[in-house]
């Protein structure tokens, strides 16, 4: 007779040993080279649905091992979490910003994970009774393990709100439309969006892009309010699998701008916003390697002028103009420069603004249409900082909303008054538990890489820190993304325990301009990894830390960086945090069915067609280069629903590391089973994951306090 189950369940015993993934022989051949991959089975054949019991059981076993090993350190995690949370002003609101007849702002309530979006008629002045709650993320997220608000856009007449929600981390959003006058949701619902939501045709139409089955936005579509989505009209379709499509309005909101691009080539079309079915105007046909983006100025009495930000004559971009009726005739307004990297521009009725970096530091300049030679740079008080344009929705303004911070200065919101070139402080980030900037110092170093190139490094530490103490080194180095020397309340939990926190501005990012980016991609990709290692060695040589006392961290492409440097120089590092790491580079770049792969070939190379690219990628792909080495302690994270770095990349990597490594150091894998690339949602839940990372680092560097 079968025994009956007890009415009470005994908790499962903590695992005594780490899980060992089954080895199932598998191989593939490309360019006559055969590659073995015994852990390929960890990719569920039904992906993006993950239902394979063996795969799920293995991920669950890894999560159980993570929990078991972290259990003794939960008090430290909780201490760190309380510290980090104590530095966040829980009941907080943004500085209201005027857009037309309304003031808009967001608020967090005490204890809330998510925001509420508010507005008030400008005419109501300071009358709080006129406040209107537009969107309540707290209510929308209730009962959900994951919640993320994507695009949102208020119609020009202020009556309708279009917004998009992802509730599982897959980055496939469902767009809805809310009548702000009544609070009711319209029946219109558009699932599978991955784009901005753009109002056109007098607020009767909404332009958006759908993610196709491979999670690629190859379209721009028009939805007429009140019509079934099956009747939506495709305004543009992109045939190149490597390109992505996006839409926006011009600054004066008269033109719909439809752009398509990959990592090195772009093409733009203009459509009258009032008549979205009109024939598009092609600004200039795509030319491989030429990137450009466009905005439109139409002043009184003129037919219109295009402003074009492009790298066609200089890799650091120039700003050109063209008549609207002859959009391909580009005339230089601001020439490209080796010294100044022009990253973007914004048009306003009476002036325009350019943004860029000079010697790696952010720069904002106001320029005037009637006096091209006049430059008005906005000056900031520190030698190293991060600054940029804030939310500036209106066309006719006499002041600019700016953002500013540094590694020692909390985030600050300014209004820049153009008439007297004056910065007005509107809000400084409050730190309820207290913060004294005078206790900290920041430095910007240059450390020579092995080829002689000077690599910038930004560091923050306490003034009373002892030399050769523990150091946290962060890096990314890909896609031309610069890592700014910004402020972080979370990192204070390490800095106040004697750590220095350093950012290596390695090649592959565009911190020092477009040439800096190009020097870390394709056939020069290994510069990125060498730069990071050489920065670590340079910090040791200068007495900031010692070998084995460096904790390193990076995510996504930065996780690839982590994998590469521990294969080459494992002895340097005392702890590693690799978040959603892109480590199975070769197999991913060989699989053109994956969402990002075709669009990534300009970044990494196409190993399907190019044997040299195949061999280079294989030579540094962290998964393919795991060896019988003593690796440092490692914490690896993954997201089951991640469409950018699929969960099986970190899972396979950890499985191979467990098989090959010859040390007894910790190796932990945590997979978020209900989240994607960004980990858990919510402002506090995400902090808890940071607290886990920092606790792991303090544990491994024997610096628990």
Catalytic residues: 556, 642, 677
Confirm if 469 and 500 have CB atoms less than 8 A apart: yes
CA separation (Å) from 694 to 574, 576, 635, 699?
13, 10, 10, 8
Dist CA 666 CA 573 (whole Å): 13
The DSSP letter of residue 130 is G
Report the DSSP pairing between strands 454-462 and 500-504.
antiparallel
Dist CA 516 CA 527 (whole Å): 10
Q: What single string gives the DSSP state of each residue in 396-452? A: S-SEEEEEEE-SSS--EEEEEETTTTEEEEEEE---TT---GGGEEEEEEEEE-TTS
Paired residues of 323 in beta bridges: 305
The DSSP letter of residue 52 is -
Dist CA 587 CA 600 (whole Å): 13
Dist CA 438 CA 441 (whole Å): 7
**Where is 59: in which H helix or E strand?**
helix 53-70
Q: Torsion angle, CA of 419/423/424/425, rounded to 10 degrees?
A: 170
Dist CA 578 CA 365 (whole Å): 38
Dist CA 440 CA 464 (whole Å): 8
Q: What single string gives the DSSP state of each residue in 176-199? A: EEEETTT-PEEEEEEEEE-S--EE
* Nearest one of 653, 555, 642, 648 to 595, comparing CA atoms: 642
Q: What single string gives the DSSP state of each residue in 591-654? A: -TTSSSHHHHHHHH--TTT-HHHHHHHHHH-TTTT--S--PPPEEEEEETT-SSS-THHHHHHH
The DSSP letter of residue 661 is -
CA separation (Å) from 529 to 333, 508, 606?
38, 10, 20
Give the length of the chain. 705
Dist CA 210 CA 225 (whole Å): 17
558-589 in b/e burial notation, b at 16+ Cβ within 10 A?
bbbbbbbbbbbbbebbbbbbbbbbbbbbbbbb
Dist CA 691 CA 492 (whole Å): 12
CB within 8 A of 580, min separation 6: which ones? 555, 556, 559, 637, 638, 639, 642, 644, 645, 650, 677, 679
Joined tokens for residue 519? 């020097």
In the sheet that holds 266-272, the strands lie side by side as: 244-249, 255-261, 266-272, 281-282
Supply φ then ψ for residue 686, to 5 degrees. -65, -35
Supply φ then ψ for residue 167, to 5 degrees. -115, 20
Q: Torsion angle, CA of 620/621/625/626, rounded to 10 degrees?
A: 130
The DSSP letter of residue 682 is S
């Amino acid at each position: 007779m079968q025994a009956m189950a007890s009415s009470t369940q005994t908790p499962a015993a903590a695992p005594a040993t780490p899980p060992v993934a089954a080895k199932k022989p598998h191989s593939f051949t490309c360019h006559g080279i055969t590659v073995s991959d015994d852990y390929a089975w960890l990719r569920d054949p039904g992906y993006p649905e993950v239902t394979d019991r063996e795969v799920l059981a293995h991920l669950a076993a890894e999560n159980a091992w993570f929990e078991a090993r972290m259990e003794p350190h939960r008090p430290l995690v909780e201490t760190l979490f309380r510290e980090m949370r104590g530095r966040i002003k829980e009941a907080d609101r943004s500085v209201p910003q005027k857009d037309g007849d309304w003031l808009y702002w967001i608020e967090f309530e005490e204890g809330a994970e998510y925001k509420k979006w508010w507005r008030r008629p400008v005419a109501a002045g300071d009358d709080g009774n006129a406040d209107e709650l537009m969107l309540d993320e707290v209510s929308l997220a209730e009962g959900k393990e994951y919640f993320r608000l994507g695009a949102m856009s208020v119609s020009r007449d202020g009556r309708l709100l279009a917004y998009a929600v992802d509730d599982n981390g897959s980055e496939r959003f469902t767009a809805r439309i809310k009548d702000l006058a009544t609070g009711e949701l319209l029946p219109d619902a558009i699932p599978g969006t991955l784009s901005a939501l753009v109002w056109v045709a007098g607020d009767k139409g909404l332009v958006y892009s759908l993610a196709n089955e491979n999670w690629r936005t190859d379209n721009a579509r028009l939805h007429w309010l009140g019509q079934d989505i099956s009747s939506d009209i495709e305004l543009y379709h992109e045939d190149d699998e490597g390109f992505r499509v996006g839409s926006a309005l011009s600054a004066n909101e008269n033109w719909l701008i439809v752009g398509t691009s990959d990592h090195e080539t772009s093409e733009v079309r203009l459509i009258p916003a009032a008549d979205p079915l009109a024939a598009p105007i092609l600004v200039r046909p795509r030319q491989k390697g030429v990137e450009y983006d466009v905005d439109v100025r139409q002043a009184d009495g003129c037919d219109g002028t295009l402003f074009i930000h492009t790298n066609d004559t200089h890799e650091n971009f120039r700003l050109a103009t063209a008549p609207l009726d002859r959009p391909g005739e580009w005339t230089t307004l601001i020439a490209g420069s080796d010294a100044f990297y022009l990253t973007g521009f914004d048009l306003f009725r009476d002036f325009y603004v350019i943004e860029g970096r000079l010697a790696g530091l952010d720069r904002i300049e106001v320029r005037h249409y009637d006096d091209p030679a006049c430059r008005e740079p906005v000056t900031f008080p520190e030698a190293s900082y991060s600054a940029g344009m804030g939310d500036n929705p209106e066309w006719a303004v006499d002041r600019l909303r700016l953002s500013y911070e540094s590694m020692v200065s909390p985030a600050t919101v300014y209004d820049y008054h153009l008439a007297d070139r004056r910065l007005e402080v509107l809000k400084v980030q409050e730190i309820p538990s207290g913060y004294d900037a005078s206790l900290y110092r920041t430095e910007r170093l240059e450390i020579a890489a092995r080829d002689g190139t000077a690599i910038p490094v930004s560091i923050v530490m306490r003034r009373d820190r002892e030399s050769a103490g523990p150091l946290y080194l962060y890096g990314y180095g890909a896609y031309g993304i610069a890592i700014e020397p910004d402020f972080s309340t979370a990192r204070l939990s390490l800095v106040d325990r004697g750590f220095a926190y350093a950012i290596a501005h390695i090649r592959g990012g565009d911190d020092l301009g477009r040439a800096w980016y190009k020097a870390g991609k394709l056939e020069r990709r290994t510069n990125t990894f060498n730069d990071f290692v050489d920065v670590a060695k340079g910090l040791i040589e200068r007495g900031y830390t010692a070998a084995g006392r460096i904790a390193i961290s990076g995510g996504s492409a930065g996780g690839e960086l982590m994998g590469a440097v521990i294969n080459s120089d494992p002895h340097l590092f005392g702890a590693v945090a690799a978040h959603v790491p892109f480590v199975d580079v070769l197999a991913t770049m060989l699989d053109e069915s994956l969402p990002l792969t075709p669009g990534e070939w300009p970044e990494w190379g196409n190993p399907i067609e190019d044997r040299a690219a195949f061999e280079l990628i294989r030579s540094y792909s962290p998964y393919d280069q795991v060896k019988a080495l003593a690796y440092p302690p490692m914490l690896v994270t993954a997201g089951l629903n991640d469409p950018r770095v699929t969960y099986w990349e970190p899972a396979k990597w950890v499985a191979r590391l467990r098989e090959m490594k010859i040390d007894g150091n910790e190796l932990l894998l945590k997979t978020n089973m209900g989240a994607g690339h960004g980990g858990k949602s919510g402002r506090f839940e995400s902090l808890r994951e940071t607290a886990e990372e920092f606790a792991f680092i303090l544990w491994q560097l024997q610096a628990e306090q």
